[in-house]
């Protein structure tokens, strides 16, 4: 049975379609990335999946249950972490998670065990009696994740779960998401390519309200073609001179010695730059290919669907 199945899902705000004819099916545990630029339709899709918004057209099935016909039963199999964690600052961690467990209709005798297990899993047990307002941003996020998994759902939906976290918090939150995804499906929304690469086994991309890509991360990587080269020279020439090299389309000086060169065509551009540097005494020190920008990939995939 599919953990999540969506058929011909569409939603209209006023006279504008936010999403149109979304179809997808997820039947395995792991992290699935939902990619898209701002306004592409990611949040609308997730809100409909989780029952926070009624779709204009189409159907959503969670563990085989229609979210419109059996909303309460379907939602028992879903955990949801919105972009802003839905925590109450004036409650302690224990008070809030107990409240979340009651909302999830966990039987009274099992609530304490569920709260303890969620705290342990998210490594927040040492903050049980602390007011949520006194927690750091990273630990508030962990409390938000704890409420999303307290009832052990088969589908956990997370909207930008690492947004606004510092580097250390990012690492710990990614580790937690991977651990959660061992037992269930995590549908993770982001517009940050590094998050998708580090966490996801599959990618679904929405652009202009439609799915433009749905496949494995390996297949998605085929679109990540190098389109820029980063170089460092001890004695760099002017931008006008670099633009004369065949294939170079744009020159961007990052500082006096580091330059980003955008190019078209063959990857042999690196060899050309090395040879030209030697001939002209530019004293090349570093050279690295850079992958295509996410906006370029959005554009490419969108055009391929037209």
Closest to 184 (Cα-Cα) out of 63, 74, 81, 50 = 63
Binned at pLDDT 50, 70 and 90, residue 176 comes out as very high
| DSSP letters spanning 68-112 | TTSHHHHHTTEEEE-SS----TTSBHHHHHHHHHHHTT--HHHHH
Residue identified by tokens 């099935």 is: 61
CA distance 246 to 223: 23
User: Considering only 230-234, 263-267, 293-297, which range has the smallest mean pLDDT?
Assistant: 293-297
pLDDT in tens, 184-206: 999 999 877 777 888 999 999 99
> How do the domains of the chain map onto residue ranges?
4-77+153-221, 226-304
pLDDT at site 302: 60
pLDDT at site 193: 72
CA distance 45 to 1: 21
pLDDT at site 217: 85
- Given a cut of 80, whether residue 1 has pLDDT beyond it is no
CA angle 224, 228, 230 (to 5 degrees): 125
pLDDT at site 204: 93
φ, ψ of residue 64 to 5 degrees: the values are 85, 0
- Given a cut of 80, whether residue 25 has pLDDT beyond it is yes
pLDDT at site 114: 97
Pair of tokens at residue 266: 């063959």
Binned at pLDDT 50, 70 and 90, residue 229 comes out as confident
Higher local confidence (pLDDT), 93 or 163: 93
φ, ψ of residue 227 to 5 degrees: the values are -135, 5
Q: Find out whether 60 and 10 touch, Cβ atoms under 8 Å.
A: no
Binned at pLDDT 50, 70 and 90, residue 220 comes out as confident
pLDDT at site 301: 65
Binned at pLDDT 50, 70 and 90, residue 280 comes out as very high
Domain pair 4-77+153-221 / 226-304, same fold = no
pLDDT at site 158: 95
Higher local confidence (pLDDT), 183 or 165: 183
In angstroms, the Cα distances linking 276 to 227, 237, 245 are 19, 11, 9
pLDDT at site 133: 96
pLDDT in tens, 37-86: 788 899 999 999 999 999 999 999 999 999 999 999 999 999 999 988 89
- Given a cut of 80, whether residue 115 has pLDDT beyond it is yes
State the CATH class of domain 226-304. Answer: alpha beta
- Residues 4-77+153-221, CATH architecture: 3-Layer(aba) Sandwich (3.40)
Pair of tokens at residue 58: 């189409």
- Given a cut of 70, whether residue 227 has pLDDT beyond it is yes
pLDDT at site 300: 65
User: Considering only 112-116, 258-262, 286-290, 292-296, which range has the smallest mean pLDDT?
Assistant: 292-296
């Amino acid at each position: 049975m599919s953990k999540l199945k969506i058929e011909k899902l569409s939603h209209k705000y006023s006279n504008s379609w936010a999403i149109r004819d979304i179809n997808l099916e997820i039947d395995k545990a792991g992290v699935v990335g939902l990619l898209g630029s701002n306004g592409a339709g990611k949040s609308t899709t997730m809100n409909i999946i989780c029952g926070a918004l009624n779709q204009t057209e189409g159907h959503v099935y969670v563990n085989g249950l229609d979210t419109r016909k059996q909303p309460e039963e379907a939602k028992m199999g879903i955990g949801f972490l919105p972009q802003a964690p839905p925590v109450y600052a004036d409650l302690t961690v224990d008070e809030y998670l107990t409240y979340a467990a009651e909302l999830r209709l966990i039987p009274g005798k099992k609530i304490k065990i569920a709260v303890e297990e969620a705290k342990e899993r998210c490594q927040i047990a040492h903050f049980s009696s602390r007011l949520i307002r006194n927690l750091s941003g990273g630990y508030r996020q962990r409390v938000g994740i704890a409420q999303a998994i307290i009832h052990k759902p088969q589908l956990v939906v997370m909207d930008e779960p690492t947004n606004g976290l510092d580097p250390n918090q990012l690492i710990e939150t990614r580790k937690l998401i991977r651990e959660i995804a061992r037992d269930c499906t995590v549908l993770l929304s982001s517009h940050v390519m590094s998050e998708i690469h580090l966490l996801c086994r599959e990618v679904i991309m929405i652009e202009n309200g439609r799915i433009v890509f749905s496949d494995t991360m390996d297949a998605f990587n085929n679109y990540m073609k190098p389109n820029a080269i980063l170089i460092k020279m001890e004695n760099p020439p002017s931008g006008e001179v670099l633009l004369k090299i065949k294939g170079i389309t744009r020159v961007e000086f990052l500082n006096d010695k580091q330059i980003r060169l955008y190019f078209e065509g063959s990857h042999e551009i690196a060899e050309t730059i090395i040879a030209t540097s030697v001939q002209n005494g530019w004293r090349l020190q570093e050279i690295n290919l850079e992958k295509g920008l996410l906006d370029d990939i959005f554009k490419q995939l969108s055009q391929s669907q037209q």
